[in-house]
Amino acid sequence: MKIQYMLLALMLCPPARAQIVGRDTLALGEVVVRGVSQTDKLRESAFNVVALDAVALHNTSLDLAQALDRVSGVKIRETGGVGSQTQISLNGFSGKHVKLFIDGIPMDGYGSAFRLNNLPIQIAERVEVYKGVVPIELGADALGGAINIVTGQRRRTFVDAAYSYGSFNTHKSSITAALTTDKGIFVHLNIYQNYSDNSYRVRTRLLDLATNSFSSEEGWFRRFHDNYHNEALILRTGVVRRPWADRLQAELTLGREKQDIQNANLMKIVYGGRERRARSIVPALFYEKRLHRLHLRLTANYALSHNNNTDTLARQYNWRGEYREKATRGEGQYTMAEYNNRTAAVSLGANYRLGKQHLLSFNNLYSAFTRSATDDAANSETATAATFMRRTSAKNVAGLSYRFSPEKTWNASAFVKRYDVRVRGPINVSTTTTAAYEEQRRTFGSNGYGVATTVFPLNGWQLKLSFEKAYRLPSENELFGDESLETGDAGLKPENSRNLNLNVVYKNHSVSLDAGLMYRDTRDYIRRQIEQRYGGAFYTNHGRVRNLAADLEARYFYKKIFSAGGNITFQDIRNMERYDTYGRELIYYRDRMPNVPYLFGNMDVTLNIDNVIKRENTLTLGYNLRYVHSFFRDWESEGGDIVIPQQISHDISVLYSVANGKYNLGVEILNLADALLYDNYSLQKPGRSITAKIRYCFWK
């Protein structure tokens, strides 16, 4: 019995042994338990998927975005500090090209309180990163891949509580708890909050309010209007192991946030009074049942998000916090906009096994979105015909797949998908510089298909090959904007792409290697662009884009004492649209797409020392290096002379676990050398920061 409780303790609240992945091995005296982890099962599938072991990082102060930034092929791009907007770049495709799921449920409509950089690492058991082809079980219209956060939903009785305090007056806390009865009734609770002043220093040009001109030299200034806080709750309850249900689960997700808007998409433009507020409520239902050879899954959720954007001051600020009065109200555009987003989604999945070698799978995901907006500040000068037009969309993605597994040394899958979408919203029909909007309805339907296979030619080696013709339907923000800094276009066409992936994997007890090649030919590529005068963003169908990418990850383990590894990614994403709409050859034909990093990587080293000071105590020392090569902000052939410089940052951590992980202490220093770090049109990220974290685990 004692051994069982010790095993349970290690599974729930393990000592932090960052980057230790592979075959699960738990050593307790003379007792050794071995098994194949879910992470290994995913790697052995035919899909190009990487599984991040989040449990190994639970004692760190990382959020999910920072943890994913260490995965091969993944680059998380942020516009600033805590609570800032994030974009996931996966082998060259970013933003909405990459779909986000939590336990297989799409996170569309969950609200900004549930962005990756808000989610604490403790919420996840592992994170699955699909590069390229996405299995139909996720029901996605992803073009660049998908990320699935697996919470684990451990139905035992435990409490896992953590709190951290760091630079720039940053506070983060989370509680994960579960209660399970002998009758299979369970309650699972996640609560977390984030707060920060985000008062780090930035280097930029200063606006002279008297002359309304910017200084020629850059200076250092402290952010003064960038407070952020959010709170969220995820409550699950249900039953398991019943004759009529393997699992029946009801879920309620609540979130709210308040964010000061310090600047838009250009660093030199600064605000002193703009802000946004949001709150969301998402009820959901999950049902699962296995009937001999049939496995059924049903998920449904309804997400209601209320948002408020405020910009009423008749002022213009500079980075010293000084301002001048304006004749018109609004630092950007005078607004007190309130809007409600409603998103409903239903997913039905079924697997049917035709013997040991054959598996049929079906999945259908239907989602509907509508937005209603009001603006008490809107008048004849600020409102347009589009302001109060309807904004709705409905999408359906259906998939059918067949898997053939004749033996353990290889397997193959083939699938087809059907994409349908209806959009109603404002369309600019003007042929002049003056906008003229009409409310229009547009529909789209098409088919996709793909194959994936894997073979194990030699002991420890694996080859993967996959091909897909896929579509990506425009997101709600791309179609309708965010009523603040982004302008939508309801006339956007869906993207379509042909993707080819090749992977070579090798693994033994101490070494793992993973090398991948990828080719993508994308048409009607949706590009996010920045308006250079005011910093607003808008979306357009750019045309044809080609991407050639390669990534390599290598890792070495010595027992559970030491691990070292790294990864590097190269992605050559270029404009292949040769002519403009008037038939003229584009000067930037074959240029790399601007503002997209093309070479980046990570390296890490971890040392675990057991029985420090006392038996069952573990000291973990960690080091991580991040590298991004310099890249152009604008088109190179158009004389783009603004280069986002090469970036190198160093992180170190010291983590100490007591009593097999019951009590945990950690100190981390991010960006140790205080390097200038940039993303997204040179928006500066925080400099050196120090964070201390405490974590307590109780289990029964």
How far from 641 is each of 249, 291, 564, 638, CA to CA, in Å?
Answer: 55, 63, 38, 9
Tell the residue number behind the tokens 């992945």, with chain if given: 21
Rounded distance, CA 340 to CA 308, Å? 9
Half-sphere exposure (Cβ direction) of 648: Cα atoms closer than 13 Å: 2
Cα–Cα distance for residue pair 636/596, rounded to 1 Å: 12
pLDDT one-digit tens code per residue, 71-120 = 877 888 888 899 888 877 776 666 667 788 888 877 777 877 788 888 88
**β-pair partners for 242:** 245
b/e 512-526 (16+ beta carbons within 10 angstroms → b): bbbebebebebbbbb
Please give the span between the terminal C-alpha atoms of the chain, in angstroms, as a whole number.
12
- 127 phi/psi in degrees, rounded to 5: -130, 125
Per DSSP (E only), the strands in 117-227 are 126-130, 145-150, 158-166, 170-180, 185-196, 201-208, 213-222
Residue 556 in contact with residue 564, Cβ under 8 Å? Answer: yes
- The helix (run of H) or strand (run of E) holding residue 7 is helix 2-12
Question: What is the rounded distance in angstroms from the CA atom of residue 431 to the CA atom of residue 219?
Answer: 43
Please tell me the predicted confidence (pLDDT) of residue 580.
85
pLDDT score recorded for residue 694: 96
For 68, list phi and psi in degrees, rounded to 5: -65, -25
Instruction: Tell me the per-residue pLDDT of 549-566, one tens digit each, with 9 for 90 and over.
Output: 999 999 999 988 999 999
pLDDT at 382 over 60: no
Instruction: Give yes or no for a contact between 396 and 366, defined as CB atoms under 8 angstroms apart.
Output: yes
Query: Is pLDDT above 50 for 27?
Result: no
291: nearest Cα among 361, 351, 356: 351
Residue 669 has pLDDT above 90, yes or no: yes
> 238-279, pLDDT tens digit by residue?
999 899 999 999 999 999 999 999 987 778 889 999 999 999
Q: Over the stretch 160-181, which tens digit does the pLDDT of each residue have?
A: 999 999 999 999 999 999 998 8
Mean pLDDT of the chain, nearest integer: 85
Owner of token pair 């096994």 = 353
**CB distance 470 to 448 below 8 Å:** yes
Which of 24-28, 547-551, 616-620 has the weakest average pLDDT? 24-28
**At 540, is the pLDDT very low, low, confident or very high (cuts 50, 70, 90)?**
confident
At 65, which helix (H) or strand (E)? helix 64-68
Q: Which domain holds residue 575?
A: 2-699
Q: Which of 303-307, 533-537, 609-613 has the lowest mean pLDDT?
A: 533-537
When pLDDT is cut at 50, 70 and 90, the band that residue 37 belongs to is low
What tokens appear for 696 in the block?
């307590």
Contacts of the segment 29-35: beta carbons below 8 A, 24+ positions apart: 31/3, 33/7
What percentage of the chain has pLDDT greater than the value 90?
50
Distance CA 164, CA 639 (A): 46
Give the residue-averaged pLDDT of 195-224. 94
> CA geometry: angle at 598 spanning 676 and 266, to 5°?
45
Tell me the C-alpha distance between 202 and 686, whole Å.
8
Q: Give CA–CA dist 494/419, Å, rounded.
A: 10
Task: Give me the amino acid identity at 157.
Answer: T
What distances in angstroms separate CA 483 from CA 322, 372, 435, 463, 476, one per listed residue? Answer: 27, 11, 17, 47, 12
Residue 650's pLDDT is what? 96
Least confident stretch, 42-56, 374-388, 633-647, 682-696: 374-388
Q: From residue 133, how far is each of 397, 506, 515 by CA, in Å?
A: 15, 21, 16
pLDDT exceeds 70 at position 33: no
Q: Which residue type does 318 have?
A: N
From 537, 630, 550, 633, select the one nearest 591 (Cα to Cα). Answer: 633
Task: Give the other-Cβ count within 10 Å of 642's Cβ.
Answer: 11
pLDDT at 681: 65
Nearest to 325 by CA among 309, 312, 314: 314
Contacts of 413 (CB under 8 A, 6+ apart): 46, 401, 402, 403, 404, 451, 452, 453
103 or 589: whose pLDDT is higher? 589
pLDDT band at 374 (very low <50, low <70, confident <90, very high): confident
Which of 663, 667, 655 has the alpha carbon at shortest distance from 696?
663
- How far is C-alpha 12 from the chain's CA centre? 25
For residue 12, the surrounding DSSP H or E stretch is helix 2-12
Q: Is the pLDDT of residue 22 over 80?
A: no
pLDDT of residue 39: 65
CB atoms within 10 A of CB 79: 20
pLDDT digits (tens, 9 = 90+) for 499-518: 899 999 999 989 999 999 99
Q: Is a pLDDT exceeding 90 seen at residue 675?
A: yes
| Distance, CA of 202 to CA of 690 (rounded, Å) | 18
Q: Mean pLDDT across the stretch 337-354?
A: 91
Closest listed residue to residue 569, CA positions, set 501, 505, 627: 627
- Strand 358-375 to strand 335-353: parallel, antiparallel, or no bridges (unpaired)? antiparallel
pLDDT reading at 12 higher than 60: no
The pLDDT value recorded for residue 32 is: 38
Assign 38 to helix, strand or coil: helix
Quickly state the pLDDT bin for 605 (edges 50, 70, 90): very high
pLDDT band at 383 (very low <50, low <70, confident <90, very high): low
Bridge pairing between strands 98-102 and 145-150? parallel
> What confidence category does residue 422 fall into, taking pLDDT thresholds of 50, 70 and 90?
very high
Among the ranges given (35-44, 351-360, 620-629), the one the predictor scored with the smallest mean pLDDT: 35-44
User: Percent of the chain having pLDDT more than 70?
Assistant: 88
Q: How far apart are the C-alpha atoms of 465 and 414, rounded to whole Å?
A: 12
Q: What's the pLDDT band for 409 if we cut at 50, 70, 90? A: confident
Look up the pTM and report it: 0.86
Mean pLDDT value of segment 455-483:
87
Which pLDDT score, from 0 to 100, does residue 141 have? 79
* Nearest partner of 154 among 283, 232, 240, judged by Cα: 240
DSSP state of 635: -
CA 476 to chain centroid, in Å, comes to 17
Task: State the total domains in the chain.
Answer: 1
Residue 498 near residue 520 (C-beta atoms within 8 A):
yes
User: Residue 153: which of 298, 49, 12 has the closest Cα?
Assistant: 12
Which amino acid is residue 695, in one-letter code?
R
Distance CA 137, CA 364 (A): 9
Q: Which residues pair with 191 in a beta bridge?
A: 175, 233
pLDDT, residue 132, reads 74
User: In sequence order, what are the residues at sequence separation of 6 or more whose Cβ sits closer than 8 angstroms to the Cβ of residue 524?
Assistant: 493, 494, 495, 496, 541, 542, 543
- Percent of the chain as helix, strand, coil, to the nearest 5: 5, 60, 35
CB 304 within 8 A of CB 341: yes
Q: What is the pLDDT of residue 232?
A: 95
CATH number of the domain at 275, please.
2.40.170.20
d(CA 557, CA 507): 11
CA 531 and chain centroid, separation: 25
